Amino acid sequence: MGVLDRIGSPADVRRLTSSQVTELADEIRTFLVENVSRTGGHLGPNLGVVELTIAMHRVFDSPRDTFVFDTGHQSYVHKLLTGRGDFTRLRKRDGLSGYPSRAESEHDVVENSHASTALSWADGIAKANQLQGRADRHVVAVIGDGALTGGMAWEALNNIAADADRRLVVVVNDNGRSYAPTIGGLAHHLDTLRTTQGYENVLSWGKKALKRSGTPGRMAYDALHGLKKGLKDVVAPQGMFEDLGIKYVGPVDGHDEPAVERALRRARSFAGPVIVHVITEKGRGYRPAEEDVADRFHAVGVIHPETGLPIAPSRFGWTSVFADEIVSIGRRRPDVVAITAAMLEPVGLKRFAAEFPDRVFDVGIAEQHAATSAAGMAFGGLHPVVAVYATFLNRAFDQVVMDVALHKAGVTFVLDRAGLTGDDGASHNGMWDMAMLCVVPGLRLAAPRDEDTLRRALREAVDVEDAPTVVRYPKGAMGPTIPAVDDADGVDVLARHDVPGGARSVLVVGVGAMAATAVEVGAQLATHGLRTTVVDPRWVLPVQDQLVKLVGEHDHVVTIEDGLVEGGVGAQVARAAAVAGVTTPLLARGIPRRFLAHATRDQLLDELRLRPADVVRDVLAALG
């Protein structure tokens, strides 16, 4: 048996000898490469925190001491050290989550995968410990340098610094990357910390030099004072943290486990908040990841463990089409600029950045800032395209309403991974956007169904200069083109089934990626003697007058969407019809208002009864 095989709890980790700790680290890396290569998952971040996580469990006593990970995708090592060694179904139904999960273990507290939240959680837990007299407990928050680009993290630091009596340790896992190299002033600040030889060393050298020079006392004092002042922000920029009232320890080599232990024990000995600055290497110990400059190993699919190459190369997908079309638009429109929140490549802006480097702005993990900065750019005569995962737009809702829409700013939001994404669980399903955005005055939202309609929607969106526009599309491979057989004044008619003798008619409305399902539903309903019309509005918000007219021309309506059904597109169609005095019964099918556990998209479609046969049964039942 290896060392890892004998680890069932953190207590086992604390009993290891120093040589066994080294063996454990090697075994964990081997385990991660072998297992994550079979299932897919976040490989690079976890390879980088092996020694750090081991040291945390040797110094602190989880779950008595609380661990909070930000963003949580670097928690695989923590899972292994807390008795969760079965990775065979990682990120699959009934298997381990790819993030911390309270349902899995008492050692997990925050089921987070939206960045920059851990420090606020830690602040709240530490306050609760303090008020309830739990003075012997610590809260340890691990936050990557990428997550520190989020404004919420700095709001939390401001509050953490306000009370020097809480036992809170902030571990800054500094690897210079989030999805890509970390950007902004903080990154430069940490670079300085990472590369200087240290405040105390240089200050000691200055004292010795002044002594050897025979400088008179007052002059020596003034010189030493000036040296201290200059070093504070140049050689020792930890002063930025210390000025907040937070002690600073580091920087320390995050792959030197004994050194990390010493730093954490020193931090634990303080009675107040402490920052421990740990330098790590993302992908450590796995050569393909260490040599990769594009950070392909942040999150991987199923790969060959020896080479890191994918088993099945990814098919032409929605993001690729956006990546191509936005470059074409950029060539025609010099006013079009792009904004990303630390995800240049995942959202498809890498090619645009290569061709127009001065027209791409990576704001870090700061979606709120991205939205309001875009409003400012629009005021200045540009047309910003903000590309973000659908689930992350939730974080900027206030800015979309009050800064973009209120000011009638021509800003286009492109929402990647909208609808059901599956494997990453509740936090990553992009299911909230349509129900959330339908309340924004003036906003227009397009849900393209295929390549042609995605390209068309993008071109139409950037032509709108007096209101926000949104284009949303799903994750993954793109299906075949679904041509329209007719155009009903802006509403695409995808199919008509005129059944001889059919007594009743059904209008089937497919939203975006669910258009193919709608086509199949229409065909199956026709076999039951129903006359059907299948339509795709393309621009689904606000509801078009022509769609309301079509609703009134049919006996029954069913809408199918991959967003929240409560308050979603179907609900908006029903409301618009009611306002117009149209009383046609409408059945809305979509995602119920609940969080969805991690599973494949197909499994979720089955669970939510969004397959064509399910919808057909529901329509037939509604018709009696």
- What's the Cα-to-Cα distance from 432 to each of 2, 307, 591, rounded to whole Å? 45, 38, 10
147 marked as binding residue: yes
Contact call for residues 600 and 423 (beta carbons, < 8 A): yes
- Helix (H/G/I), strand (E/B), else coil: 275: strand
Please give, one letter per residue, the 3-state secondary structure of 82-98.
CCCCCCCCCCCCCCCCC
Nearest partner of 2 among 19, 33, 25, 27, judged by Cα: 27
d(CA 78, CA 262): 19
Buried b (16+ CB within 10 A) or exposed e, 493-518: ebbebebeebeebbbbbbbbbbbbbb
Annotated binding residue 367: yes
Q: Are 112 and 70 in contact (CB under 8 A)?
A: yes
Burial of 159 (0-12, 13-18, 19+ CB in 10 A): middle
In this structure, which amino acid lies at residue 516?
A
**Is 146 annotated among the ligand-binding residues?**
yes
CB-based contact 550:507 (threshold 8 Å): yes
Asked if residue 25 belongs to a known ligand binding site, the reply is no
For residues 614 and 606, give the distance between their C-alpha atoms in angstroms, rounded to a whole number.
Answer: 9
Helix (H) or strand (E) holding 354: helix 350-355
Residues identified as active-site: 282, 367, 395
Burial class (CB in 10 A: 0-12, 13-18, 19+), 435: buried
115 has binding-site annotation: yes
Strand pairing report for 556-564 and 586-591: parallel
145 is in an annotated binding site: yes
Give phi and psi for 237, each to the nearest 5.
-70, 0
242 is in an annotated binding site: no
**Ligand-binding site membership of 73 (annotated):** yes
Do 404 and 575 contact (CB within 8 A), yes or no?
no
Sheet holding 168-174, edge to edge: 66-70, 139-144, 168-174, 274-279, 247-253
User: What is the SS3 string spanning 453-484?
Assistant: HHHHHHHHHCCCCCCCEEEECCCCECCCCCCC
The full 3-state SS of 568-592, as one line of letters, equals CHHHHHHHHHHHCCCCCCEEEEEEC
In what helix (H) or strand (E) does residue 512 lie, and over which residues does it extend? none
Amino acid at 213: S
Alpha-carbon distances, residue 195 vs 126, 191, 234, 240, 258 (angstroms)? 32, 6, 11, 16, 21
Token output for 31: 């385990």
d(CA 354, CA 350): 6
Known binding-site residues for thiamine diphosphate equal 73, 113-115, 146-147, 175, 286, 367
Known binding-site residues for Mg(2+) equal 145, 175
Known binding-site residues equal 73, 113-115, 145-147, 175, 286, 367
